[in-house]
Amino acid sequence: MHFKLIIVFVEDDKTDLVLDTSREYGATGATVINNARGEGLKTSKTFLGLTLETQRDVLLLLVEEHLSRTILEAISKAAEFDSKPGIGIAFQIDVEDAIGVMRQVEKLTPIVEEEL
């Protein structure tokens, strides 16, 4: 079984929405890294030398490759990434090898066989 890593940078108020959506579409878990900071095309506003930014989280989802595109699109739609700038971004990268995922493989095998 082959995997992809979906990496999501999202405003913290949308983290639970992204997690719920990814599970609904086949993700078996995620790692959440809190307190991330990012900058887009425009620099952040400041007030008395303090930067005014919304809190961001980074989500790492190791998903089966046949489910990855569907999960990625569902996350984008649910979190409304394309509706206005600065909401978040998500992308996927290939994973050459993974260990410690045998329980996920057991759960995903029937689902992937159904898809194929």
DSSP per position, the chain:
--EEEEEEEEEGGGHHHHHHHHHHTT----EEEEEE----SSPPEEETTEEE---EEEEEEEEEHHHHHHHHHHHHHHHTTTTSTTSEEEEEEEES---S-HHHHHHHHHHHHHH-
Q: According to the model, what pLDDT value does residue 3 have? A: 92
Q: What is the pLDDT of residues 54-83, one digit of tens each?
A: 678 999 999 999 899 999 999 999 999 988
pLDDT, averaged across the chain: 85
The model's pTM: 0.80
Residues of the chain with pLDDT under 70: 38-54, 115-116
CATH code of the domain occupying 3-39+50-115: 3.30.70.120
